[in-house]
């Protein structure tokens, strides 16, 4: 079995974290920043003793809203993880942040992005959230159409300015579900096909939030048979960040896919 780098948390993981952190909402929190890289930001000095008013997930971002209009913005990148533990749980190592309530505490480990702001400026540039209820598919399609028509749809789906929350895993699974090749230029993908892909992403990610273990049909299945037709799944780097695309060359034909 090949070894892979850890997946970047996507919108469903952040929404699950937001749901777990609801146990702290409405409480005055004790705030600590044990890790030196977090301590120098003086976040604890400004938040300790304040009431946590709300916790929201927006795409791949977590917004913790405190009294007085202060918003703590967390983005996990590849390494960060939020945990909610009973108050007083023994912790090994130095977490970036501890939010301690009456009975529970929220703990952020390896938090590469942790910023204190006023308002939602950290997420104002993002496109509509794929996990909104209902998702704003019309605006998502409009923002995708604003991209260069030669841009490959698989690459465009990862642009958080067009659609917030989709990462490499759900890109692969949504495209497979809708039978759309990641290599097709946006100009060759019909609006109905884009909506099918986005609807699949919303449906699959929402099921993940509710606890359904995702069945991976394409993601990280390179060389294994496609569950739909039996053709070996392919993989190849895509886009400026060279994120690996996974697709079935039979079920998801089209575009200028790389040579085998």
Active site residues: 9-10, 60, 243
* Nearest residue to 134 (alpha-carbon basis) of 210, 53, 198: 198
- 129 - beta bridge partners? 164
The kind and range of the H/E element at 213 are none
Determine the Cα angle at 96 with ends 93 and 85, to 5°.
Answer: 70
- 108 - beta bridge partners? 82, 97
Q: Which residue has the tokens 């780098």?
A: 5
* 131 phi, psi to nearest 5 deg: -100, 10
**Residue 237: burial class (beta carbons within 10 Å; 0-12, 13-18, 19+):** exposed
| Rounded-to-integer distance, Cα 20 and Cα 14, Å | 10
* 20 phi, psi to nearest 5 deg: -65, -35
The kind and range of the H/E element at 175 are helix 168-178
Q: Could you tell me the two tokens for 215?
A: 């069945």
CB proximity list for 40: less than 8 A, separation 6 or greater:
none
Q: Could you tell me the two tokens for 85?
A: 């533990």
């Amino acid at each position: 079995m090949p070894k892979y780098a850890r997946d970047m948390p996507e919108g469903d993981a952040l929404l699950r974290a937001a749901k777990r952190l609801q146990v702290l909402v409405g409480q005055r929190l004790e705030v600590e920043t044990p890790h030196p890289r977090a301590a120098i930001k003086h976040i604890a000095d400004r938040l300790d003793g304040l009431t946590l008013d709300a916790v929201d997930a927006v795409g791949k971002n977590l917004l913790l809203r405190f009294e007085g209009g202060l918003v703590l913005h967390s983005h996990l990148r590849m390494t960060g993880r939020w945990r909610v533990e009973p108050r007083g749980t023994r912790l090994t190592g130095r977490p970036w942040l501890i939010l301690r309530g009456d009975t529970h505490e929220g703990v952020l480990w390896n938090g590469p992005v942790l910023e204190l702001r006023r308002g939602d400026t950290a997420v104002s540039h993002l496109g509509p959230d794929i996990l909104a209820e209902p998702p704003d598919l019309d605006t998502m399609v409009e923002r995708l159409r604003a991209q260069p028509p030669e841009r490959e749809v698989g690459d465009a789906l990862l642009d958080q300015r067009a659609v917030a929350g989709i990462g490499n895993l759900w890109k692969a699974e949504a495209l497979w579900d809708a039978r759309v090749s990641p290599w097709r230029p946006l100009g060759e993908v019909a609006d109905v096909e884009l909506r099918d892909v986005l609807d699949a992403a919303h449906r699959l990610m929402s099921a993940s939030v509710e606890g359904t273990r995702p069945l991976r049909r394409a993601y990280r299945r390179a060389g294994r048979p496609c569950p739909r037709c039996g053709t070996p799944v392919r993989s190849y780097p895509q886009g400026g960040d060279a994120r690996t695309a996974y697709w079935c060359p039979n079920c998801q034909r089209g575009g200028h896919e790389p040579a085998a």
